[in-house]
A = this chain, B = another copy of it.
Amino acid sequence: MQTKLSTNAQAVFETVQHLGNHPTASEVYEAVRQSRPRIGMATVYRTLHQLAEMGLVLEIDHSAEGCRYDAHTGRHDHIICKSCGKLWDLSGEIPLQQILLQRLAQEQGIEMLSHEVRIYGLCETCRQATK
């Protein structure tokens, strides 16, 4: 893992930070193109993976329309709309017994690294659409 970011990598990172709202790789690509018009999709993907490995962005797996990225790397939870897949951060800390989680992980022989609470629901837009 190298310690310095290339110019492109910096642009990608800043874009994820500025976009804020859990962009997909393509969304990052479209946005970063404004400052670096010649950048290629491949570079965006490569860079996002590197950033994730370095811990600079979070990779949120929730397929549908592809993985999403988040520059907010502290531990936090999410609300996900079951219908449209939109995703929001939960700011408030949800109390969980760390010790219990650790133990559950251990029981399965897994070394726990992190955890996440996901709340699934229907966002306003989707509720309207169903009506």
Contact = CB atoms under 8 A, between A and B. Distances in A.
Interface stretch (A8-16, A32-40, A62-70): A62-70
Contacts of A116: 117-118, 120
A99 to B, nearest CB: 12
Contacts of A123: 109-110
A105 to B, nearest CB: 5
Contact of A101 (B88, B94, B112): B94
Contact of A63 (B67, B104, B127): B67
A121 B117 contact: no
Contacts of A88: 108, 110
Contacts of A109: 123-124
Interface string A95-131: 1110011001100111111111111111110010000
Interface string A49-87: 000000000000111101100000000000101100000
